[in-house]
Structures are given as structure tokens and as C-alpha cells.
Amino acid sequence: FVTFAEALNKAVDGETITLTHDVNETCVVDGKNVTVDLNGHTLTGGLFAESNGEMNEGATDSYGFWVKNGGELTVTGNGAVKTQACNYSIAVWAQGGKVTIQNGAFENFGEGSDLIYASANGHVVINGGEFKACEKQAGVEGTENKYSVLNLRDNTGSSILVNAGKFYKFNPADNLSENPKVNFVAEGKTVEQDGDWFIVK
């Protein structure tokens, strides 16, 4: 298959989609249960304008994986998930779906956005990987308090659980989100700081 969308359309629940090359598109997992093996490749989210949960013509938003309507996604394969620079960018959005991240490098670019985001009864479990969010741009309207590697939308029944991973300038055990104050680290796990990185293990 040339695109992720084509592969997902043919996949059945429980199957694994393995990347054979770098991909430049937003990978929307809508209601299906699949594993994506990045296979060392890079997924770069496409550009569009999101409104009311739909992708529309425009270039203000860029998402890597967008999991919704009960979809379930496992990400593995030690690749990279990135976004394009724009107003609002998310590497992984669990919007009423569940995402399990096993490994890989996740980074977004833009004026200041959430790297990993859960809303609308969405759930994210992080078992490993490296996570680096873009910093907010001074003086840019709408970016205040938008320096967040992990963000949980308040009062939506959503969750983010960190079992392991490295987080750039972000302590997942002590931070502000739309929750607003939350500890994402799983019980029994520890956080160690190494320079600008917070390591959960």
C-alpha cells in the first residue's frame, strides 16, 4: 500500500501495519484495533484544519496519529512520529480511543501545542519512548500555558498512564494540564532527572 489510509482500510481488527517507508499523512484510526510497527521509519502528520472532530481544508493543524470512536492503536517499531510546524500540532491524539506507545521518538513543531493528548474518554498508556514538545512562542496569542508534553482534557473520563519513557523539560509526575494538576506516572515507578530530560522507570 502507498498510504496508511489504504492499509488501514484493508486491515482487520488485531492486525499489524508495518511501515516500509517514511509516511507523510495524518493516520486516523477510526473504530479499528490495530498495531502500527514504525519499523524504524518516520511518520510526519499532514496539514489540515480540524473542526468538530473532522479534517477540513486548511493548514492550521498537524497530527500524527488520531485515534477516535473507540479505536485502539499500539505503536511500536522504534521509529519517529512528528508533526509539521503550524498553529496546533499533536503527535498522538486519543479522542475517544486508546493508544499504547511501546517505544519510538515523538516530537511536534509549531507555536506551542500538546504532544500527547487525551480527550473525550480517550486513554493513553506509555511503556517507553522519547517525548519532546515544542515550546510556546512568546507573544503568540493562544499559546499561553501550551508547553505540554502530555495533556489531559478535564472532566472527560480520559487518562494518561506512564510506565516508562524519557520526557524533555517535562516531569510527568508533577505538572499542569487541562486536568489541571496531575501525576501521570504509574504507581511504583520513579522519575529521575538527567539534564533537561525526566526519565520514568
Q: What is the pLDDT of residue 110?
A: 83
Q: Residue 40 pLDDT > 80, yes or no?
A: yes
Q: What is the pLDDT of residue 148?
A: 83
Q: Residue 145 pLDDT > 60, yes or no?
A: no
- 137: its cell numbers: 512562542
Q: What is the pLDDT of residue 37?
A: 98
Arithmetic mean of pLDDT, 138-143:
58
- 78: its cell numbers: 522504534
User: Are the C-beta atoms of 58 and 38 separated by less than 8 Å?
Assistant: no
Q: Residue 146 pLDDT > 60, yes or no?
A: no
Q: Residue 143 pLDDT > 60, yes or no?
A: no
Lowest mean pLDDT, pick from 87-91, 102-106, 124-128, 160-164: 87-91
Q: How far apart are CA 54 and CA 56, in angstroms?
A: 6
C-alpha of 169 from chain center: 17
Q: What does the mean pLDDT of the chain come to?
A: 92
Q: How far apart are CA 59 and CA 29, in angstroms?
A: 21
Compute and round to an integer the Cα radius of gyration of the chain.
16
Highest mean pLDDT pick, 1-5, 145-149, 164-168: 164-168
C-alpha of 168 from chain center: 14
For the stretch 53-64, what's the b/e string if a residue is b when 16 or more beta carbons lie within 10 angstroms of its beta carbon?
eeeeeeeebbbb
Highest mean pLDDT pick, 84-88, 109-113, 146-150, 191-195: 191-195
User: Cis omega (within 30 of 0) on the bond before 180?
Assistant: yes
Higher-pLDDT residue of 165 and 157 is 165
